[in-house]
Amino acid sequence: MPEELRELLPDGFLTDLITATSDDGEPSLSDDEVFAAVLLSILAGGDTTVDLIAQLVTRMLDGDRELWRQAEADRSLLDGLIDEVVDPRRPDATRHLRFGRGACSCTGSALARAETRHAIEALLDGLPTARLVPGHEVRRMFSTAIQSVLDGLVVAWDVPEPT
Ligand code: HEM
């Protein structure tokens, strides 16, 4: 790739894929391989992360919204809550298989966690009074080792009076 074009590329995953070179200076990936990697990331990282966010919101708003209120006051709790939702069944929630293991591990797990943390922070900032609407209990459509798809999530919140 010409140097003047390379300078226009922003830092990030896509740029790393496009500009990666092997020892002989040749591009590591062909255009088709870059396309396949981007497509795989979009497919692998879309619904999986949306489901994780929805599950965490459900867990935090459940009951008397204790976790929601705690996280609103202390955002550092969010990483631990994400681990718990990723695998609530293990005594040590950080030792889970949801993102795979070894050669079969997820290359996007850090991104999925970061996206989830940012999404919840945005909700805590923008909709601090969010609550689950009674009578619209969340049902799980299906659940696998890596995904747990919710049927729906009905949430209400207070709109502040205009000042
Ligand atoms: C909560 C969200 C996610 C879950 C639960 C998840 C889960 C997994 C699992 C279990 C694997 C291993 C599959 C196997 O080889 O048997 C995997 C692979 C992969 N994931 Fe994720 N993933 C998530 C989010 C993402 C995101 C956000 C991205 C990227 C944008 C991503 C990209 C990939 C890719 C590219 C692979 C294939 C890695 C390889 O074979 O080298 N994933 N994911």
Q: Tell me what the mean pLDDT of segment 132-148 comes to.
A: 75
Q: Is the minimum distance from the CB of 56 to ligand 1 under 6 angstroms?
A: no
pLDDT in tens, 42-55: 888 888 898 899 98
What's the pLDDT at 1? Answer: 66
From the CA of 50, how far away is ligand 1's center (Å)?
Answer: 13
pLDDT in tens, 59-69: 999 989 999 99
CA dist., res. 127 & res. 69, Å (int): 12
How far lies 62's CA from each of 14, 20, 69, 84, 161, in Å?
38, 46, 11, 14, 26
CA dist., res. 32 & res. 54, Å (int): 34
What's the pLDDT at 141? Answer: 74
Identify the H or E element spanning 142: strand 140-143
Candidates 1.20.120.1630, 1.20.1530.20, 1.10.630.10, 3.30.70.890; correct CATH number of 50-96+106-156?
1.10.630.10
Report yes or no on whether pTM surpasses 0.95: no
Nearest atom of ligand 1 to the alpha carbon of 111:
27
Q: Tell me what the mean pLDDT of segment 143-161 comes to.
A: 80
What's the pLDDT at 90? Answer: 66
Nearest residue by C-alpha to atom 27 in ligand 1: 45
Sign of CA dihedral 147, 43, 125, 78: positive
CA dist., res. 118 & res. 106, Å (int): 20
pLDDT in tens, 4-23: 777 788 888 888 988 899 99
Task: Please name the residue that has the structure tokens 């088709």.
Answer: 32
Whether pLDDT at 99 is above 80: yes
Task: Provide CATH 1.10.630.10 ranges for the chain.
Answer: 50-96+106-156
Whether pLDDT at 160 is above 90: no
Q: Is the minimum distance from the CB of 87 to ligand 1 under 6 angstroms?
A: no
What's the pLDDT at 72? Answer: 96
Q: Name the residue of 106, 109, 111, 115 whose CB sits within 8 Å of the most ligand 1 atoms, as the mutation to test its pocket.
A: 106
Helix runs in 46-96, H state only: 47-61, 66-73, 78-86
CA dist., res. 153 & res. 123, Å (int): 14
